[in-house]
Amino acid sequence: MTRITWFGQSAFLLAGSRQVFVDPFGDMSERLKQSGRRFDYPPIEGVDADVLLVTHEHLDHNAVEVVGGDPHVVRAQAGTLETPLGEVVGIASEHDPVAGTQRGHNTIYRFALDGTTFCHFGDFGQAALRPEQREAIGDVDALFLPAGAGPTVAHDVAAAIVRELAPRTTVVMHHGNRAVDFLEPPDALFAALGVEPTRLETNETDDLPEGVVVFGVPRV
């Protein structure tokens, strides 16, 4: 059994036989307040991990210092990597549709934990998956996909990725809600897919349902 906890934005803890944290952030409230944007997720505190994955070096994804437990850290690294979790595949991608010239690069991570294959897309922003990326991703049980458009994929592109990968579960992340006002809500993605998502009441679960899943927003 793997317990999945969403801390906001793209930050997740997957806790089973190993603990894996992806894309932690620090206290962003003051920094974003200066630009007139809201980021009201609580700071990540009291969390340990065995493996810590960072998809790209932006401040709302790379606060490795907030995760304890002396984890094995993989920072925005493509390749087939050996970790305490076993093999982690990092797949090079871009944060924008113009070859990374606007927002830089991004790493998609694929890994298995307790019999489930996970794939975390970070802040993927390409106009489509390239064939070699699709091949490297392979079969996916649980897909973590940005759904707030803006600096990441548009809703029609996100929907095409879901259809192409056909995961058992798609977890939407990096979207607008009552804690964040500079991203779009994920409703346009649901409309593009023609689905009604499963809306969890809390920000954690021990059992991911099939289909498209929205976690409850962490306490603000």
* pLDDT tens, residue by residue, 36-84: 788 889 999 999 999 999 999 888 889 999 999 999 999 999 999 999 9
Planar angle of CA 3, 7, 11, nearest 5 degrees:
90
pLDDT in tens, 113-168: 999 999 999 999 999 999 999 999 999 999 999 999 988 999 999 999 999 999 99
pLDDT in the model for residue 101 = 87
Question: In this predicted structure, what is the pLDDT of residue 37?
Answer: 81
- The mean pLDDT of 17-25, rounded to a whole number, is 97
Asked if residue 139 belongs to a domain, the reply is yes
Q: In sequence order, what are the beta bridge partners of 88?
A: 81, 111
- Domain CATH for 189: 3.60.15.10
Q: Is 219 within a domain?
A: no
Answer yes or no: is 145 within a domain. yes
- 220 is a domain residue: no
Number of domains in the chain: 1
Report the pLDDT value the prediction gives residue 102, as an integer from 0 to 100.
Answer: 87
Domain extent, residue 101, equals 3-214
